[in-house]
Amino acid sequence: MAFAVASQVDQSRLADGELASSAAAARYIGDTCLSDGPVGRVGLEVEAHCYDPVEPHRRPAWEEITAVLESLPAMPGGSALSVEPGGAVELSGPPVDGVLAAIEAMTSDQAVLRAAFAEAGLGLVMLGADPLRPAKRVNPGARYRAMEQFFAASRSGVAGAAMMTSTASVQVNLDAGPRARWAARVRLAHALGPTMVAIAANSPLLGGEFSGWLSTRQRVWSQLDSARCGPILTASGDDPGTDWARYALKAPVMLVHEPDAVPVTRYVPFADWADGRAVLGGRRPTAYDLDYHLTTLFPPVRPRQWLEIRYLDSVPNAIWPAVAFTLVTLLDDPAAAEVAAEAVEPVATAWDTAARVGLNDRRLHAAASRCVAIAAERAPAQLGDAMRRLVEAVDQGRCPADDFCDQVIANGIAPAVAQLAQGQP
């Protein structure tokens, strides 16, 4: 099993039998959304914006980016490579035993990738949102073309374009764990969200302007349809499978394969398609259509047999290992999880506050201080420098966005971005 599941069309499954009803779809989701087993494996996905340091306003073309990727050998840490709609480059690491092994593998792959892009005169910038360039799709893939058309036809066209082409994240993938602990584990993954958003906020600008938010990436996601991008659970969710099924069946269908991806430009909940109240592509959905529909839903915690933790901004190389270690420790270490659950309970739903003001909110600052202290007590020597940086920043009430703001104010947006693209802190 690999954590990084491709979302491309599986031609062999297009002929799957049709689902009988939304109830059948709900059973399918509940049966397949999480995998019973121990915890311990970790997979990391790291996205970075691609820039030309000489002309930072210019968005490198698809051909430039793919030429670099095609020149690369297999990644030493086993990561798969992909290009996001706006040209951001993603490394998707395989699941490995333990967060330290995952960090080491991803760090080695990043070094190879950065060197190849530098040789081509390009740089990779770890920010949660593109601070300089307007939204523009460069990936010609049919999925992204149809997604673009879907968002353009909705009331969230601007936010959809920004989400697709101007945001980047660090994603942490974890085993679902034993079935008996699923509800508590999924609740905690959600409850940690606002605190971790505040710690990792690193997107104070978008499209050449200060947004007024420290995590503009989180702001962009919150402007999209909550049926597609909002949290699955409230803090009291008791059955993750049922909650995910309810969420997925209410969510509108984005794409239908005929066999190419075609956008659905009217609001059709998947349940209406499955129950025959709406017909798309001249048919009812198949299990493959349902699986694909689930890949077009973007909640902050997404069940994919494992748990995808999707709420972290892309943060600098100097601290992302400490951020990832903190999150994994708070979820996978039972003693740490118990303390963390208590620490974040007062801010478990403060998503907008976290994105807007980060650690300037006293309750979020208190929760973050306690959470990073728990992780720092357990951090191995290899992460000593990164954890010290993170602890010091949290103690001071600062997030990565504050450092980038300082650079922009001192030097201007384009020079600050060019400096990051050249690998300078």
* 74 in a structural domain: yes
Establish if 220 belongs to a structural domain.
yes
Per the structure, the count of domains in the chain is 1
Backbone torsions φ then ψ of 237, nearest 5 degrees? -60, 135
The pLDDT of residue 313:
98
Q: Indicate whether 5 belongs to any domain.
A: no
Provide, rounded to the nearest whole percent, the portion of the chain with pLDDT above 70. 96
303-321 pLDDT, tens digit per residue, is 999 999 999 999 999 999 9
pLDDT at residue 5, rounded to an integer:
38
**CA distance to 176, 349, 365, 421, per residue, from 7 (Å):** 21, 30, 37, 29
Per-residue pLDDT reduced to its tens digit, 350-380: 999 999 999 999 999 999 999 999 999 999 9
The parent domain of residue 73 ranges over: 11-422
pLDDT for 424:
79
Average pLDDT over residues 180-196: 96
Question: The domain spanning residue 266 has which CATH number?
Answer: 3.30.590.20
Q: Is the bond preceding residue 259 a cis peptide, omega within 30 degrees?
A: yes
pLDDT at 223: 92
Per-residue pLDDT at 57 exceeds 80:
yes
- Please indicate, yes or no, if residue 418 is contained in any of the structural domains: yes
| C-alpha distance from residue 116 to each of 19, 233, 303, 370 (Å) | 46, 41, 34, 39
Strand, helix or coil for residue 88:
coil
**Rg over CA atoms, the chain:** 21
pLDDT at 1: 28
Q: What pLDDT does residue 2 have? A: 37
| Average confidence (pLDDT) over 85-97 | 98
**CA separation for the pair 407, 405 (Å, rounded):** 5
For residue 11, the model assigns a pLDDT of: 56
pLDDT at 12 over 80: no
Dist. CA 254–CA 145, nearest whole Å: 12
Give strand pairing partners of 92: 45, 80
Give how far Cα 363 sits from Cα of 347, 357, 398, Å. Answer: 7, 11, 14
Closest of 71, 102, 66 to residue 84, by C-alpha: 66
- pLDDT value for 10: 59
Q: Is 139 exposed, middle or buried (0-12, 13-18, 19+ CB in 10 A)?
A: buried
Per residue in 205-244, pLDDT (tens digit) is 999 999 999 999 999 999 998 889 999 875 456 789 999 9
pLDDT of residue 4: 38
Residue 3 located in a structural domain: no
pTM of the entire predicted model? 0.95
Nearest-angstrom CA–CA distance, 425 and 408: 13
User: What does the pLDDT average to over 127-131?
Assistant: 98
Q: Are 175 and 1 in contact (CB under 8 A)?
A: no
Q: Please name which of 358, 365, 360, 417 lies closest in space to residue 391, comparing C-alpha atoms.
A: 365
User: Residues 394-423: what's their mean pLDDT?
Assistant: 97
* 380 SS3 class: coil
pLDDT at 93 over 90: yes
What value does the mean pLDDT of the chain take?
Answer: 94
pLDDT confidence bin for 17, thresholds 50/70/90: confident
Identify whether 2 is part of a domain.
no
Q: Which amino acid is at 411?
A: N
Asked if 347 and 235 touch (Cβ cutoff 8 Å), the reply is no
pLDDT of residue 155: 80
pLDDT band for position 3 (cuts 50, 70, 90): very low
